[in-house]
Amino acid sequence: VQLQASGGGLVQAGGSLRLSCAASGSIFSINSMAWYRQAPGNQRELVAAITSRGSTNYADSVKGRFTISRGNAKNTVYLQMNSLKPEDTAVYYCNANLAAGAYFITNNYWGQGTLVTVSS
């Protein structure tokens, strides 16, 4: 199983970015997908998550500014980030909790991370 994230970059405060993540491999089912972020010197934190049924939850710091969604193929997840702030600067990681392989074992999988830099 691989998670491929993309869409990071440099943006000015107040701007927008859209992150994408696609899961591939011998996937049986995806329970949830999420975005985490880690700023220098900080622990990795949950930004937003979405379940297979479409339920979402967000960190308080991004509510009203970020939107997580699933693609039609259900193996993709997007994070639309609006009104970006310098404190949103971090490496953003895609996460998926899914069942895969011949025995449908459920595990957490991580993408490689994509850097988002918001300048003031």
pLDDT in tens, the chain (120 residues): 999 999 999 999 999 999 999 999 999 999 999 999 999 999 999 999 999 999 999 999 999 999 999 998 789 999 999 999 999 999 999 999 999 999 999 999 999 999 999 999
Provide Rg for the chain, Cα atoms.
14
Looking at residue 77, its pLDDT comes to: 97
18/9 Cα distance (integer angstroms)? 10
Looking at residue 72, its pLDDT comes to: 82
Looking at residue 73, its pLDDT comes to: 78
Contact residues for 67 (Cβ-Cβ < 8 A; gap 6+)? 48, 79, 80, 82
Pairing of strands 114-119, 9-12: parallel
Hey, CA dihedral for 29, 34, 39, 42, is it positive or negative? negative
